[in-house]
Chain A
Amino acid sequence: MSPPLLPSWRALAALLVLAASAAHADSLRRFALVAGNDEGGDETRPLRFAQDDARKMHGLLTRLGGVAPGDAKLLLNESSKDFLAALTSLEARAKEAQARGERTALLVYYSGHAKDGTLRLGNSRLGFEDLKQRLSNAPADIRIAILDSCRSGALTRTKGARRAPSFEIESGAARDARGLVILTSSSADEDSQESDALSGSYFSHHLASGLLGDADRSGDGRVTLFEAYSHAYARTVADTAASSGGAQHPTFSYDLAGNGDLVLTDLRAGGDGLVVPGLAPAGTYYFVDPAGLVVAELDKRPDVERRVALAPGTYRVKRRLSDRLRIGEVEVARGRQVVLEEARLRDAPFSDDPVKGAAPEGGAWWTVGLSGGVQSFLDAPTRDTLFLSVGMLGAEAQLHDYFRRDWVWGVDVAVGGKQAVLALPTLSGPAYRYSVTSLGTTLTSEWPQGRVTPFVGARMAYQVMRRDFADEAYPDQKFAMFSPGVVAGLRWQLLRSLHLTGRGRLHYLLYTVDEQRSLGFWELSALVTYQP
């Protein structure tokens, strides 16, 4: 043994230990059941963001949390029966994995209503005690329950779980942890609050933001369960302290054998993300998606490099100073780590805050727009001789997120027309002008997917068709009727306040003049909307 080489051997040994630990961590087979339900049945008001929270958590766990897509189940507005069925399915697979000698972890996330000791999944219920019992017996080495619901802290108060005295729980121990961990968004007597500005619940937002990197206090590129919880706790309490609902205190309990920590997300797992270099100014950075929603936050300390595992896409970055904002835009490419350069940020007044929720009270917002399209009846004789195919120009106004999150109510008016020559079996030749006026109101539900938002909905239109003959021997004619229909399409956010929508409509029209006939027509149109 050569004395000068001793430090190298020690370093190598440390590396081997780390590698062994990492390899051991990687061998943990992870299963995740993620459920979100906006509805809570009787005596509850619909939530606005529970499904969104679940979608976010599902995406995060499969992208960074080591959960294979096939091992994750996402339930949106499903019943307790579906919830238990999905849990049974995952348990069976975990059991098979255990039988093969794999270590397993089962994570259950729920965002939604809870009341009177039960989770409320729509009109169905699932008792806290039943869920806890079920998880206690689940065939997985580690079971983690994260409940973002009102009074969910009751679950951590019940028998069989120890309340965590503090969050300075040691990790990195030699023995692997086994047992049950429960995180709740609020204590047993508190409501869990949603935020329009965050477009999600405070707890889930800060938990997700922490898992993306803000909670990585150790700076090792991994966010452990304890790091994530302590971060979510601190930020949730701070954000809700001044809210009308009062401060909300997340809870944490565990019933673990062994004392190893669990890595929840690996910030380098996707290979893509954003690095804020150590030399970048200290402060809180906000990363805003194209829809104006804060995806992640980062508390940057002086001279400390931080990492945010943002998914590929374009983000606006905001740092708030006492008298102004510093804002800029970054593009996170797939598989690449992008460094945030301070030089690419610029000063901006507070009025230019890119966060959508920062502006309108209650989250509702208006758009106005202009549309152009085509209307045509399905039946060939009808469109040839009665109600012709025409181009339409129109104007619309839409109210977003007023009745409910991602619901859009719109009113529209459109006109169209063309010159034509009549061609009937016993009469051909008279020239006339055919015109259509359409007044409509539409209610659609949207599913935002970054810049692109698909939507479907229902529409009721009042259609007025006219034809005016040049020959006075033929009377000008008119027909008016209410027309129900459906609409579907895609809305694409071109700029922050400018959207381009492509959509199709299918309508029913009852024709009653010569005889009663059921007719159908379609409309294809493009719509440019501006958000004032």
Chain B
Amino acid sequence: MRHLAPPCLLLALAACGGDFSNDDLEFLNALPQREDLSVTTPGERMGGGTGQRLVRQGKVGSPSALMEKLGDASALVGNTDETGRDINESIGGILDSVESITRLTPTKREPNRRVWGPILGKNDMEFDTRFVMTREGERFEYQTQYRRVGGGENDWWSFLEGTFQADGGVRKGTGRLSIDWKRAREEEWLFSVDFLDGQEIRYQTQRLPTQVELEYFGPLPDIFPGRYMYREAEGDLAEMTFEMRGTDFVPGGLPENVALVTRWAPDGRGTALLEILSGDIVGAKYTECWDAQGRVTFISRSWDFLNPTEGVRASCPDMSALDR
């Protein structure tokens, strides 16, 4: 009986404790979820909504003002779809790394601080990993940090940094998340991504229209489009703003860099406003509307004095909620 007491006591102690924590929930709430930052695309709306989407034949990445005709499938819808998928893929990769850690229970709980890890590097791994979150009032900061195996507390460096200003609701607030690719190369944690120095996601989810912005920083800004923005307004209206580089949008000797704003409604109808940033006719604007099946219903070319518009402007959906 005397020998049974210690194991019984240990068993009882092992059965105590848990993860029932309000603070844990508030910390987790400060981290963006995939659905908060993911982009819906006009193609998804059409496919899941009003009917079969028309698919434009040809290379989606090279729209031409001359190719767009009333009744044809819009090439800009395809460009928006593809860009949206790229954004989701990029954000998803970042969030994967965060989620893989925060799915676990915090290793250390301190007032206004949580630490997951360190997850020690073993075998051929050269780096230890940890995820740290701090809180001050309604503002949260977090970092994914690495250090070389055997390093000390001062050797941690941040690969991913984020902030979130909470607004009380379910992941409602303003946040920022950045990746330091340059530091990763300097620390020899990464070798392959040499065309990027950094990447930043900024978002706000506390009021409509919500907004997610993705920006890349690198040594070659001219050939790599740097900024994407996605917004959602009342009535599930969506907008994407992005640039396309090196297109031959209008005839002439120069390739065009264009800024594109596409907007679409839940039923699949949408509009696109394209502005030529560089190339043959800098400053020229192209507007297009499409119906629920993605067919072009209206075209406006600012440089075409003879035939500036085609189709019926009234066929364009009302997107004014995105202007607020």
Contact = CB atoms under 8 A, between A and B. Distances in A.
A in complex with B: yes
A478 B26 contact: no
Contact of B169 (A427, A462, A515): A427
A477 B28 contact: no
Nearest to A476: B19
A386 to B, nearest CB: 6
A43 interface: no
Contacts of B17: 479-481, 512-513
Contact of B109 (A424, A428, A479, A513): A513
B20 A478 contact: yes
Contacts of A480: 15-18
Interface stretch (A234-242, A255-263, A467-475): A467-475
Nearest to A464: B18
Interface string B1-44: 00000000000100111111111111011100100000000000
A477 B21 CA distance: 7
A150 B44 CA distance: 95
A466 B167 CA distance: 26
A511 to B, nearest CB: 8
Contacts of B29: 426-427, 474
B19 A425 contact: no
Contacts of A429: 169-170
A482 interface: yes
Given A475-B28, A515-B111, A427 B170 contact: yes
Contacts of A428: 168-170
Nearest to B19: A477
A478 B18 contact: yes
Nearest to B140: A426
B19 A478 contact: yes
B138 interface: yes
A477 to B, nearest CB: 4
A429 B169 CA distance: 6
B75 to A, nearest CB: 37
- Contact-residue bracket for chain A: 20 to 34
A421 B17 CA distance: 23
Given A482-B12, A513-B109, A515-B111, A427 B18 contact: no
Given A426-B166, A482-B12, A386 B28 contact: no
Given A426-B168, A514-B109, A474 B28 contact: yes
B26 A425 contact: yes
A429 to B, nearest CB: 5
Contacts of B28: 473-475
Given A480-B15, A515-B111, A426 B21 contact: no
A514 B23 contact: yes
Contacts of B103: 475
A427 B205 CA distance: 13
Contacts of A133: none
A201 B107 CA distance: 64
Contacts of A479: 17-20
Contacts of A515: 109, 111
Given A426-B166, A473-B28, A513-B109, A385 B22 contact: yes
Contact of A424 (B15, B25, B111, B171): B25
B92 to A, nearest CB: 15
Which interface residue of B29, B33, B103, B171 has the most chain A CB atoms within 10 A?
B29
A465 interface: yes
Contacts of A425: 26, 138, 168
A514 B22 contact: yes
Nearest to B105: A475
A435 to B, nearest CB: 11
B20 A513 contact: yes
Nearest to B16: A481
Interface of A: 385-386, 422, 424-430, 462, 465-467, 471, 473-475, 477-482, 512-515
Interface of B: 12, 15-26, 28-30, 33, 103, 109, 111, 138, 166-171
17 contacts: A385-B22, A424-B22, A426-B26, A426-B138, A426-B168, A427-B170, A428-B168, A428-B169, A430-B170, A474-B28, A478-B18, A478-B19, A478-B20, A479-B18, A480-B17, A513-B17, A513-B24
Given A426-B29, A426-B166, A512-B16, 10 more contacts: A427-B168, A428-B168, A428-B170, A467-B20, A475-B28, A477-B19, A478-B18, A479-B17, A479-B18, A482-B16
